[in-house]
Amino acid sequence: MIGRLNHVAIAVKDIKAASAVYRDTLGAEVSDVLPQPEHGVNVVFIKLPNTKVELLEPLGENSPIAKFLEKSPDGGIHHICYEVDDILAARDQLKAQGARVLGNGDPKIGAHGKPVLFLHPKDFLGTLVELEQA
């Protein structure tokens, strides 16, 4: 069902400072900041030869990333994203197997402009999983 690893997302307090670490220290190609108000975050993508790293900065105190940073003030890995060929078929198969889809179960448009869903971390070894339509 799952395809390639699309990205690993890291929650950060300061997206510009975090971007500088990847750009200036590690020599990575870093995107511009992309505001995603419908998800409550600003995002930056670090482009790697085989995948991406997504930096997430909260937009306001109601952001899910703000809540994550309350528990992990230094930031850290927030979720992992896998591609799927058909997000609705993947959702239906996972739900039939007892997995919990977060929210109302309908895909939202993610930072790449493609439909995404999130799966409950308790169903996936303590890891928040994002699925993105390939």
Residue 121, number of CB atoms within 10 A of its CB: 14
Check 54, 57, 130, 132 and give the catalytic one: 130
Q: Is-catalytic flag, 130?
A: yes
For residues 69 and 117, the answer to whether their CB atoms sit within 8 Å is: no
Catalytic residue annotation: 130
